[in-house]
A and B are shown apart, each in its own frame.
Chain A
């Protein structure tokens, strides 16, 4: 594999955000050695993983970086107001929230603001849409831009009327003079001769934002602006984009991970009318006027393909494999000697690979115009995809335009641009626009996974029943939430990388899901060893007031102290809490065990969540409810199975995700904190679900739970 990065700056290692690291598919469609050298002439040569890191860190430092006011807000002469952002809408509510942010500071009605999102040819690079960053970073960036535009209009009016700035007033998107008789609008500003020049100025960093108590749009439930298009089927998702003369593509996939294509006979497909076949080293694909024809063509050549496979670990041996391949070995408990004789609790926890499985699989339409490319695709990282395209085709990023229509779900699973690259390569060969839509099987197999992990935990208690030492090691899944929020005499918490057998990457809250599962389940074991109630034991070890507040709220609303005394052997209750990305969450769950059917049913979840000042209560509720139910899938059923490099459950039939009948009674409490800055909410609500359910199952069965998904052990 070649390792090139034509346009990527030297990575600032301080800026690396390990939350969001994803291994990219390293396509190189350089086509000729000459272009390779040309592009690389003044560039940098970096190790293969560094470009990905640099890409994301570079974006982070530029996040919210509209270089001037005009790059953030376009004021139309017809009165239209368009706000530009590099953020994407994948169902998490950014379009609505950023519209609210702009409308608030412009002092206009919400429905007068149009968001133009994620078109790299037009919008500022606000960084990828991940890490719960839209709310804490992009909302303020948009508010600053909008407030600056509002100030421009105020100044413009004062100048026009030759009065003091203090003598003009903003009301419902209009500026009035002291008499209230004269008024000016954003359209008047746009039609003025000075408009273009005024909008060229940088957004001042000290512009005052509306005080929390004065907010009129933010904090009020708001409906998604394009909701109507969705219920009538008119909204164009990436897989719905059509271009004149467009063809449909299919890609040849290896039969197993790591398999190498040795030979293939392309002739049977080439002989087909209207079919184009392309091979570029290991990349083989076809295009045809419709999908069935493309599928037939691909089938004909894939039957002739010869592959060299190499042995791959299977899911059965996954956890041993991760431990054996832990980098530098698994660090031992440094307190091993001193805890001899004390009450000691140990646990080992297994978290499997799972898939995001967004309902819209990866989809792209690519269209070339000479050496300029436009790609419509579903990704959480438009500028990242642009860089990937530039790198793969050895062209300057300015030649690559990436457009992200509102797409069908991401959940941290769509940070990359592999589908865009594939569509672009096919379109290059076909000389026509090409639509490439991954199948469900491709999405389950070739998209990256939430990392699997092994967690080793050991704790000792002092004579008062308090935690004396705490040792907690995560192998492979990541560092998020590996630190414990609970007080302890001494703590030793680490993340250790391993050699992942599957390509892994981000997910909602990433490793927080694994680390919170293990820590909160282990806490119940430690509480039991101390002879304490899980709630009381946690509160006795918790200092963070925000975390205490959500835990106390969830427990109170769930009526923990009563329900925990329940003696029905088929019912169990459990709780868990945690924090991530600046927000705080606690949940209590009740499960019903059917011993005859060997099933677990979650009957009730009570969750308290706090993310500072609430900006869109309706969307926040949807995110929390969705996070809870998605969390139930990972808690009870989801698990990738693989053998010899093949995923063996790559379908919704074999990989069961939550459905309507999995919906428990939901009791959600959103704690509004107007005194605190707003942070994101798309991730954190999920992190407590698996441990709360596991703890409830443990309470019902009396048996420790050590792995996800939670299963009843055979009697």
Chain B
């Protein structure tokens, strides 16, 4: 049964008519061609599929599209303003934090979400949230440095 579902996606009003049970991840990738958000496990265990829903970092693979009606959704593609990277993106780039980079979008969204939730978050607060994310290249040491950079230098100002 197709349903008409409307939401705000990366700053634009969008409407999709589809099966409300489809995952948000699938709709983002297959209907909106927003492939920056990745599939990693399909059960919310790796957070490669993280998107911001009303400012909260959420695994889109276990969120059905029917559940985001009227919500404000931001994906990795919606973080930068033009050529201006989001400070968290800039921090990850400056540190060359990733190896294969497949988990990177989810990691960045996770950090942005943690800082939005709690603008005065300490690095430890953010790291506690990031425990949900998997980097299979195990580039955690460099990611930690990037998160430190994002939190201490430029993350908060733009959260």
Chain A interface residues (CB < 8 Å from chain B): 90-93, 223-224, 227-228, 230-237, 239-240, 242, 248, 290-292, 357-361, 406-409, 411, 437, 439-440, 618, 622-623, 625-630, 633, 651-653, 657-663, 666
Contact = CB atoms under 8 A, between A and B. Distances in A.
6 contacts: A224-B96, A228-B85, A248-B30, A626-B139, A630-B138, A660-B127
Given A232-B85, A660-B130, A292 B142 contact: no
For the complex of A and B, 8 pairs with smallest distance between CB atoms: A233-B36, A91-B100, A408-B102, A233-B76, A240-B35, A629-B138, A91-B99, A230-B101
A658 B144 CA distance: 14
B41 A651 contact: yes
Contacts of A357: 136
Contacts of A437: 39
B33 A242 contact: yes
Nearest to A633: B138
A233 B105 contact: yes
A359 B135 contact: yes
B135 A292 contact: no
A629 B30 CA distance: 34
A236 B33 CA distance: 11
B1 interface: no
B72 interface: no
A439 B140 contact: no
Contacts of B90: 231
A292 B102 contact: no
B73 interface: no
B100 A360 contact: yes
A625 B139 contact: yes
Contacts of A290: 22, 26, 30-31
A235 B105 CA distance: 11
A440 B101 contact: no
A659 B134 contact: yes
Given A411-B136, A660-B130, 11 more contacts: A91-B137, A224-B101, A230-B101, A230-B105, A231-B104, A232-B79, A290-B22, A407-B102, A625-B141, A661-B131, A662-B140
Given A359-B136, A618-B96, A408 B142 contact: no
Contacts of B29: 240
B133 interface: yes
Nearest to B92: A231
A626 B108 CA distance: 19
Interface stretch (B42-50, B113-121, B151-159): B42-50
Given A231-B85, A292-B26, A407-B100, A651 B131 contact: no
Contacts of A627: 138
Nearest to B40: A359
B103 interface: yes
A237 B140 contact: no
Contacts of A409: 99-100, 102, 136-137
A667 B101 CA distance: 24
Given A290-B30, A440-B42, A652-B41, A629 B104 contact: no
A260 B110 CA distance: 44
A267 B79 CA distance: 46
Contacts of A660: 127, 130-131, 133, 140, 143-144
A543 B10 CA distance: 62
Contacts of B31: 290
Contacts of B136: 357-359, 409, 411, 630, 657
Given A240-B35, A626-B138, A660-B144, A291 B76 contact: no
Given A231-B108, A233-B77, A440-B41, A359 B46 contact: yes
A661 B138 CA distance: 11
A90 B100 CA distance: 5
A161 B36 CA distance: 52
Contact of A408 (B85, B100, B133): B100
Nearest to A651: B43
Contacts of B41: 440, 651-652
B93 A360 contact: no
Nearest to B25: A291
A661 B143 CA distance: 12
Contacts of A666: 141
Contacts of A411: 136
Contacts of B148: none
B104 to A, nearest CB: 5
Given A233-B105, A408-B101, A660-B131, A629 B77 contact: no
